[in-house]
Structure 1
Amino acid sequence: MAGRSWTAWSGWGRTIKPERSSMNHDAFEFVEASGGIEAYRLPANGLDVLLLNQAAAPVVTFMVTYRVGSRNEVPGHTGATHFLEHLMFKGTERFNKRRGTSVFNVLQRVGAQVNATTWLDRTNYYELLPREHLALAVEIEADRMRGALIDPDEMERERTVILNEFDRGQNEPMRNLYHAVWSAAYVAHPYHHPTIGWRSDIETVTPEGLRHYYDTFYWPNNATLSIIGDFDPAEALDLVARHFGPIPASPAPIPEVRTREPEQRGERRLIVRQAGQLGMLMVAFKAPAALEADTDALDVLATILTTGKGSRLYRRLTDAGLTTSVFAATSRLRDPGLFYLFASLAPGHGHADVEAVLLNELETIKDDGVSEDEVRRAQRQLHAQEAFGRDGPFSVASQLNEAIAAGDWTLYTTYLDRIRRVTPEAVQQVARTYLLEDRRTVGWYVPI
């Protein structure tokens, strides 16, 4: 597998040339339209709303994307975003376990799928449910946007759950190698720490600390609602205006992440040793942010390298018996991320041999470039991946969620056009620009 890695502030501040809206609504401003999606803003509090009507099935996805992730955390408070995500399900005055009206109970009674996820640049909460119950999802999400209890007793119970989740992750070599490489690659920027946080911070975070975090970031002007599926657009905007309209904008500006990672001036190397069977190798290079055109070319390069049995590194490594699998990806993030390659070693083969073959192939591309046929094949493969990944309202909302986090929701609607513009020359140029030894971090997982 290969391609982009959507891992996740929106681009509303840019100059916008509005396209035609399908309707007018007294409470909302029309902002723009792209790829069938219409964007509106609630002027009263700055809440952004995206609408995409798909009537293929009588279901709808309602998703709230907050532009806050582990990127917004500071040392001593890592994991706050993830911890708060857990507590958002522990209730408000209206929806809570004591009254038999917990979020899960109320929504699952009407057949909803409900959950949330946290990542580097965002947190999202979602419901996939029968179309006639959209109002319930809107009501619950509006209620907990400012009404979360953050109860100390519930927090202590959830701390145990999160610490267990952290400890389970420590038993996964691939996860540990991935986190170790990111932590070595970043020395200043918050991408340095894992989204779940460091264990000591999970152990010591206080209710007051999480309340402050909640009161800093959980506001309508730091959120985007996505409504995808079978619904009436005018009625949906009525619901949003009714439930979210009374919520004020944040009393203070949402804090910006101002830390910029300093230039890396030499290769960094690390070894992770723990119990396991087969070794693994991760090679990562500093890469541009999600919205940069060079990131499109890196997506194509990752696909050329590792997607399918005809890809370069599959033939050089897996076909040759050196690895059991190999993949590459570009982490399309709000701030500059990583272009990385991951290889699982075959029995009897060493890290140095696999690394040498991998790096040699990258040098070949820098020297000789890639062919027109390789680029066209990669573009077709990325097109197919996108088509499979956009099947149904929840899939659409999930990918739209990552584009919002990256900085511009229209990245979702324009992605394939951007990929189609990539040329062989552009692929060679990004290889020469970013795949440099001094910008490289190499990690080995060595079983013991």
Structure 2
Amino acid sequence: MDVLKTTLSNGLNIFLKEIHTTPIISHWLWVRVGSRDEIPGITGASHWVEHMQFKGTQQFPAGRLDKDISRDGGFWNAMTYIDWTAYYETMPAEKIDLGLRLEADRLINSDFDPDEVASERTVIISERQGHENSPIFRLDEDVQAAAFDQHPYRHEVIGRMADLESMTRDDLYQHYKRFYTPNNAILAMAGDFDSAEMLERIRQLYEDIPAGPSPARVAAPETPLSAERRVLTQGPGETVFVRAAYRAPHAQDPDFFALSVADSLLAGPSNLNFFSGGISNKTSRLYQNLVEKELAVGVSGGLQATIDPFLYDITAVVHPERSADEVIAALDGEIARLQDSPPKAEELARAVKQAQALFAYGSESITNQAFWLGFAEIFADYAWFENYLQRLAAVTPADVQRAAQTYLQPQRRVLGVYQPDGRPEQPA
């Protein structure tokens, strides 16, 4: 069935998709705020606000909701990324009104009790400390910071430790009030409902919430990189990692699709959906030439759909008996091969098919259908989702070669190596 799209008088965007295969509804509220909207001093505020949204309102005290949703056979959660924050409930169709009432209420009525803010500070600092035990997090943070000079994409979603220690309750509450308004939100639902009846219920809950001022965006255009930047990250562990992060196009750039196919060919397709797993990348060029030749024990690529140009990264786990330099040389050799010669039609068809399959697997469930209704609207529109498979199929060998020549140049990248403390570098 077609998607019902409308906007309330207060600016709330609504997307409703009827799916009558099972008596379940997935309900999402997306807020156009993420680490892209943070400045030094309040990095991590969007993620922290998401945590505070589970601390209750006058109407929905914190301890009650999890029990009520679980008792009714549903599940709920939230997530924060660089461009957005999203909240969702997937429940039996006859119980979804609880999710509707909850999100309408906490969009504007969250308490931000000072004691709860203090408690959550401890939780998030502990979460950050846990991340710091991960070599990949450490390397990713250093590479991202080196890749951007001005744009807020340069810092991690969880925020800098100094900001987590110094941010106040008022900082968080002002961030919440600035961005949590109906005109800065998207309500997306998929499942077993009548669209006209559901729209009327949404109007009852949201129509009287006033619109807020359009929030100012702090994202600044980045100047192009003119030379390769190198990062050496050191820390605990036994494994060496290599990450090559290239400045990549945003999701609405036509080149996004050509680079997506290049990613599938080189490293296996990237998963754009935050719920579903990946598929095997054993037919990819980098797996065959790094892992099968025992230069690395694993390799993966990552290309995300974002509002502004972000990064395409290739990450390799270096074999214990090989060096980072050997892995980098092999990686550069495979990229040069793609730049010099377009892929054969059979190899391209396989790469496209794998990317299409991963996309399809991540779009099957009712929860995933509702996810895509809102997610695509964050950085483009629902037509982007509807046309994605066709856009991949339209990519030609020449398109893939051109994407590699344009975006996978050394001067467009940050090259990072994680070197464990006390482990001597293997000779090349």
TM class, shorter-length: over 0.9
TM-score (norm 1): 0.89
Q: CA shift at 1:343, angstroms?
A: 0.6
- Show the counterpart of 1:90: 55
Q: CA shift at 1:390, angstroms?
A: 1.4
- Show the counterpart of 1:279: 240
Q: Which amino acid is the alignment partner of residue 175 of structure 1?
A: F
- In 2, the alpha carbon distance for the partners of 1:394 and 1:344 equals 33
**Which of 346, 352, 374 lines up with 1:379 in the alignment?**
352
3-state SS, counterpart of residue 261 of structure 1: coil
- Show the counterpart of 1:41: 7
3-state SS, counterpart of residue 146 of structure 1: coil
- Show the counterpart of 2:396: 423
Q: CA shift at 1:164, angstroms?
A: 0.7
- In 1, the alpha carbon distance for the partners of 2:27 and 2:117 equals 26
**Which of 241, 256, 259 lines up with 2:203 in the alignment?**
241
Q: For 1:325-340, what aligned pairs fall within 5 Å after superposition?
A: 325-340=298-313
- Show the counterpart of 1:155: 117
- Show the counterpart of 2:43: 78
Is the 1:296–1:418 Cα contact (8 Å) retained in structure 2? Answer: yes
Q: For 1:16-415, what aligned pairs fall within 5 Å after superposition?
A: 36-42=2-8, 44-97=9-62, 102-250=64-212, 252-307=213-268, 308-415=281-388
Is the 1:299–1:329 Cα contact (8 Å) retained in structure 2? Answer: no
Is the 1:127–1:137 Cα contact (8 Å) retained in structure 2? Answer: yes
3-state SS, counterpart of residue 147 of structure 1: coil
Q: Which amino acid is the alignment partner of residue 40 of structure 1?
A: T
Which runs of 4 or more aligned residues in structure 1 lie more than 4 Å from their structure 2 counterparts after TM superposition? none
% identity of equivalent residues: 36
- Show the counterpart of 1:19: none
- Show the counterpart of 1:22: none
Gaps of 5+ in 2: 269-280, 422-428
Q: Which amino acid is the alignment partner of residue 41 of structure 1?
A: T
Q: Which amino acid is the alignment partner of residue 62 of structure 1?
A: H
Give the CA RMSD over aligned residues: 1.3
- In 2, the alpha carbon distance for the partners of 1:400 and 1:373 equals 33
Q: Which amino acid is the alignment partner of residue 207 of structure 1?
A: R
- Show the counterpart of 1:30: none
CA deviations on 1:189-229 (whole Å, 9 max, x unpaired) are 00000000001111111111111111110011111111111
Gaps of 5+ in 1: 1-34
CA deviations on 1:320-354 (whole Å, 9 max, x unpaired) are 11111111122221000111111111120100001
- Show the counterpart of 1:3: none
TM-score (norm 2): 0.93
After alignment, is 279-288 or 395-404 more displaced?
395-404
Is the 2:260–2:303 Cα contact (8 Å) retained in structure 1? Answer: yes
Q: CA shift at 1:316, angstroms?
A: 0.8
Is the 2:35–2:82 Cα contact (8 Å) retained in structure 1? Answer: yes
Q: CA shift at 1:287, angstroms?
A: 1.0
After alignment, is 168-177 or 403-412 more displaced?
403-412
3-state SS, counterpart of residue 284 of structure 1: strand
Is the 1:306–1:328 Cα contact (8 Å) retained in structure 2? Answer: yes
Q: CA shift at 1:258, angstroms?
A: 4.4
- In 2, the alpha carbon distance for the partners of 1:164 and 1:322 equals 35
CA deviations on 1:13-33 (whole Å, 9 max, x unpaired) are xxxxxxxxxxxxxxxxxxxxx
- In 2, the alpha carbon distance for the partners of 1:316 and 1:275 equals 28
- In 2, the alpha carbon distance for the partners of 1:38 and 1:303 equals 33
Q: Which amino acid is the alignment partner of residue 372 of structure 1?
A: A
CA deviations on 1:132-152 (whole Å, 9 max, x unpaired) are 012111111001111111111
Q: CA shift at 1:66, angstroms?
A: 0.5
Q: Which amino acid is the alignment partner of residue 65 of structure 1?
A: W
- In 2, the alpha carbon distance for the partners of 1:244 and 1:324 equals 52
Is the 1:117–1:124 Cα contact (8 Å) retained in structure 2? Answer: yes
3-state SS, counterpart of residue 309 of structure 1: coil
- In 2, the alpha carbon distance for the partners of 1:359 and 1:230 equals 50
- In 1, the alpha carbon distance for the partners of 2:415 and 2:174 equals 37
State the aligned residue count: 409
Q: Which amino acid is the alignment partner of residue 6 of structure 2?
A: Y
Is the 1:184–1:268 Cα contact (8 Å) retained in structure 2? Answer: yes
- Show the counterpart of 1:4: none
- Show the counterpart of 2:271: none
- In 2, the alpha carbon distance for the partners of 1:186 and 1:273 equals 21
- In 1, the alpha carbon distance for the partners of 2:306 and 2:334 equals 26
Q: CA shift at 1:177, angstroms?
A: 1.2
Q: Which amino acid is the alignment partner of residue 377 of structure 1?
A: R
CA deviations on 1:52-110 (whole Å, 9 max, x unpaired) are 1112221110000111101000110100000000001111111114xx6x332332232
Is the 2:104–2:206 Cα contact (8 Å) retained in structure 1? Answer: yes
